[in-house]
Amino acid sequence: MRKNSSFLHLFLSFALLLGQAKPDPDPLQDYCIADTKTPQYFYFNGAPCINPELAVSSHFSTSVLSKPGNTKANPFGFNVTLTNANNLPGMNTLGLSMARVDIDANGIVPLHTHPRASEVTTCLKGRLLVGFVDTSNRVFTQQLNPGESFVFPKGLIHFLYNYDSKAPAVALSGLSSQNPGAQIVSLASFTSKPPIEIQILKNSFQITDQDVARIRKNLGG
Ligand SMILES: *[C@@H]1O[C@H](CO)[C@@H](O)[C@H](O)[C@H]1NC(C)=O
């Protein structure tokens, strides 16, 4: 009996671990145009589809990536514009998305992760220094000129920095999920709501009360 239950435990742990490494589920139909109009009364994984007979070409098209995002809305000097089920409803269930990344001169997309997606980014304009840290704490970085690409493996902490002090940069990223998610390390740590206990931050980063207060203030928390 005990042996059985610990085997079950092991099996479930493996199933969980494997499950986390899976991409978005495969669609069961050609497409599933996201229904962004009908109010949702119950919630499931993804967005519901409209009647496929009502699908039109414009559902598969978007111009959201044609305009730069506002890089002044945060202290880092970047903005990410992402396709999603609302602005590109024909993308629903296809397991991918695209992002336009605008970065001011010397601006940064600070250390962050996408829990549900790998990302391949191509520098379209400017000079980028990009990189990620793997789970053994090794860093991989590269300078990108226009036309050059770099890949960030799923879930790993990464950054994009515009090392040009005069010109803005633009990058285009493909992501392997329709809902990649993003967690910025500094904001998650210091500006969460409700805030993480100060003692936790002090111990985690080996810093003082004053350091915590200063970082929170700098990040607008
Ligand atoms: C990006 O820009 C949009 C407007 O273009 C703004 O609403 C949003 O807050 C900005 N995002 C960040 C992370 O600053």
Here the CATH number for the domain that contains residue 81 is 2.60.120.10
User: Is residue 99 assigned to a domain?
Assistant: yes
Helix (H) or strand (E) holding 14: helix 2-20
What's the rounded mean pLDDT across residues 146-154?
98
User: 111 and 173 share a domain?
Assistant: yes
Distance 70 CA to ligand 1 centre (A): 5
Q: Which residues are annotated as a binding site for oxalate?
A: 114, 119
List all residues whose CB is within 6 A of at least one atom of ligand 1.
69-70, 73-74, 79
With the most atoms of ligand 1 within 8 angstroms of its CB, the residue from 79, 183, 184 to mutate is 79
Judged against a pLDDT cut of 60, whether residue 171 lies above it is answered with yes
Judged against a pLDDT cut of 60, whether residue 9 lies above it is answered with no
Tell me the CA end-to-end span of the chain in Å, nearest whole number. Answer: 52
Count of domains for the chain: 2
Judged against a pLDDT cut of 80, whether residue 96 lies above it is answered with yes
61-160-128 Cα angle (round to 5): 95
Beta-carbon count within 10 A of 173 CB = 24
User: 63 and 165 share a domain?
Assistant: yes
What's the rounded mean pLDDT across residues 11-30?
64
Share of the chain above pLDDT 90, in %: 79
Query: Rounded to an integer, what distance in angstroms lies between the CA atom of residue 50 and that of residue 27?
Result: 14
Judged against a pLDDT cut of 70, whether residue 5 lies above it is answered with no
Per-residue pLDDT at 28: 78
The secondary structure of residue 118, as a DSSP letter, is -
Distance 78 CA to ligand 1 centre (A): 9
Backbone angles phi, psi at 186, to 5 degrees: -65, -40
Per-residue pLDDT at 16: 47
pLDDT tier for residue 153 given thresholds of 50, 70 and 90: very high
Per-residue pLDDT at 12: 46
User: 71 and 175 share a domain?
Assistant: yes
Question: For 32-51, how does the pLDDT look when each residue is reduced to its tens digit (9 = 90+)?
Answer: 899 988 887 777 778 899 99
User: 213 and 130 share a domain?
Assistant: no
Average pLDDT, the chain: 91
Question: For 105-123, how does the pLDDT look when each residue is reduced to its tens digit (9 = 90+)?
Answer: 999 999 999 999 999 999 9
pLDDT tier for residue 209 given thresholds of 50, 70 and 90: very high
User: Is residue 171 assigned to a domain?
Assistant: yes
Q: Which residues are annotated as a binding site?
A: 112, 114, 119, 158
Distance 7 CA to ligand 1 centre (A): 48
Backbone angles phi, psi at 22, to 5 degrees: -80, 145
What's the rounded mean pLDDT across residues 59-72?
98
- Ligand 1 atom closest to Cα of residue 78: 14
Are 186 and 171 contacting, i.e. CB atoms less than 8 angstroms apart? no
Host domain of residue 202: 191-219
This prediction's pTM: 0.86
User: Is residue 86 assigned to a domain?
Assistant: yes
User: 110 and 200 share a domain?
Assistant: no
User: 176 and 73 share a domain?
Assistant: yes
Distance 80 CA to ligand 1 centre (A): 7
